[in-house]
Amino acid sequence: MSKWKKDDWCYYQFELYQILEVDNDGNVTVVTNGSGETSGNLACFPLTIANKYSAELTKKCYNSIRDEANRMNLNYPEIINWFNEEWEKTCLSSNKDEYNQILNYIKETSEEIINEITNIQLIKVEDIRLFR
């Protein structure tokens, strides 16, 4: 991966960020999305069409789960971590078939989660819906 510079733009956790700080080795240490900063040893990816597409698809799938769940108390930290890990795999993939396979896996998994949320919302006891 190329060395990053301050003020470069990158994808981090399938969102667009601007780099605020890099260490002496060119590793990103602080980024901002305009509303907050994130720091640490950050896995950033370059602005490419493939990374843009996979970021948008991953974000759409993740947001569809949040929309479907409405106010349910899902395990969002674990869910977002899974989406980040799978998205990072697309950014690191140099094989188009593998890239598409990961994207399909992201879509299928988000659909499965939404189906389970829907099933939970249909649970009734004595004709009383337990979830809204």
Residues 29, 41 contacting (CB under 8 angstroms): yes
pLDDT by residue (tens digit) across 8-34?
999 999 999 999 999 998 899 999 999
pLDDT at 55 over 60: yes
Q: Give me the half-sphere count of Cα atoms (radius 13 Å) on the Cβ side of residue 32.
A: 8
**What's the pLDDT score for residue 72?**
80
What does DSSP say about strands 44-45 and 9-12: parallel, antiparallel, or unpaired?
A: antiparallel
Structural domain spans, the chain: 1-47, 48-122
Question: Is the pTM here over 0.75, yes or no?
Answer: yes
